[in-house]
Amino acid sequence: MTMIFGVPAAAFFGQLLLGLINGAFYALLSLGLAIIFGLLKIINFAHGAQYMLGAFAAYLLLNLLGINYWAALFLAPLIVGIIGALIERYLLRRITHIDHIYGLLLTFGLALIIQGLFTNLFGVSGNRYPVPSELSGGINLGFMFLPFYRGWIVAIAVVVCIAVWFLIEKTKLGGYLRAGTENPALMQAFGINVPLLVTLTYGFGVALAAFAGVLAAPIYSVAPGMGANLLIVVFAVVVIGGMGSIMGAIVTGLAMGIVEGLTKVYYPEASNTVIFLVMIFVLLLRPAGLFGKEA
């Protein structure tokens, strides 16, 4: 048997693929955070709670209204995105002119309230969301058994990430967004409704979190604490990638998934700290992050 660093090649490639799948989640979540921070300069601590809301929205749509996974994949982000837009319009907007720390505190408080509310309603053990029948089962790749659903996650996450990057960096709408945050007064003067643009952007970032939540629902327990566990890692990913860098968030998300996956083979005890070690090194060598622009 071929060995790679003392691990059978088959196991090595298996773990590499699993790392990539987890990386897809990190990429989707950090992408939303990066958009919100990059364009609105809000450190969105409610992102984990919004991811959880996405999973719960899918769960409730299925159990209360009988709406299936495929529709939920579209509807849940829409619903949670609208909630996000309302949060921006009625809460975050009031504090845009003061220090960023207040945005952080506000979103952190919101996250605690939302999670507390769901804990009261649903308990902490969570609920099961079934894998859609079209994607149940799996395939033996020779080096590992790959559930179809995990393959789907990577594919759809990469497609969504690239589409979002394209939307923001290459289209006219994306141009408005970037210009609007750079110099809102000037954009206003050109007749563009900047406050609306900002509201929609926040809603869109939140919808991305909810989308990741729907993707996660069939493979993790749909529980109120599911986002809190992920959020800190995702923040580390954003910092490593460079705060506000869209491409940085995507590439770093996937890369950190792989780094973490390999750690789980070679030294599993460190698997939840390895990303922070990487973060420390990156901050020492490139304080603005891998893809960030030096201020």
| Residue 10: CB minimum distance to another protein, A | 7
Nearer to another protein, 68 or 127 (CB): 127
Shortest Å distance, C-beta 237 to another protein:
14
CB of 28 to another protein, least distance (A): 14
Shortest Cβ 168–another protein spacing (Å): 28
Smaller CB distance to another protein: residue 18 or 72?
18
Cβ proximity to another protein, 38 vs 218, nearer residue: 218
Give 202 or 211: the residue with its C-beta nearer to another protein: 211
DSSP-assigned letters across all residues of the chain: --EETTEEHHHHHHHHHHHHHHHHHHHHHHHHHHHHHHHH----TTHHHHHHHHHHHHHHHHHHH---HHHHHHHHHHHHHHHHHHHHHHTGGGGTTS-HHHHHHHHHHHHHHHHHHHHHHH-SS-B--PPPGGG-SEEE-SS-EEEHHHHHHHHHHHHHHHHHHHHHHHSHHHHHHHHHHH-HHHHHHTT--HHHHHHHHHHHHHHHHHHHHHHHTTTS-B-TTHHHHHHHHHHHHHHHH-TT-HHHHHHHHHHHHHHHHHHHHH-GGGTTTHHHHHHHHHHHH-TT-SSPPP-
Burial of 152 (0-12, 13-18, 19+ CB in 10 A): middle
Q: Look at the alpha carbons of 18, 36, 122, 129 in this order and tell me if their dihedral is positive or negative.
A: negative
Please tell me the distance from the alpha carbon of residue 232 to that of residue 227, in angstroms, as a whole number. 9
The least distance separating another protein from the CB of residue 220, rounded to whole angstroms, comes to 6
Applying CB under 8 A, which residues contact another protein?
A: 8, 10-11, 14-15, 18-19, 21-22, 116, 119, 123-128, 130-131, 138, 144-145, 147, 149-150, 219-221, 223, 225-226, 229-230, 261, 264-265, 268-269, 271-272
Closest CB 229 distance from another protein, rounded Å: 5
Q: Which is nearer to another protein, 136 or 188 (CB)?
A: 136
Taking the least distance from each CB to another protein, the nearer of 155 and 162 is 155
Q: How far is the CB of 268 from another protein (least distance, A)?
A: 5
The residue (of 13 and 165) whose beta carbon lies closer to another protein is 13
CB half-sphere exposure, 140, CA atoms < 13 A: 1
Min CB(129)–another protein separation in Å = 10
Residue placing its CB nearer to another protein in the complex, 269 or 294: 269
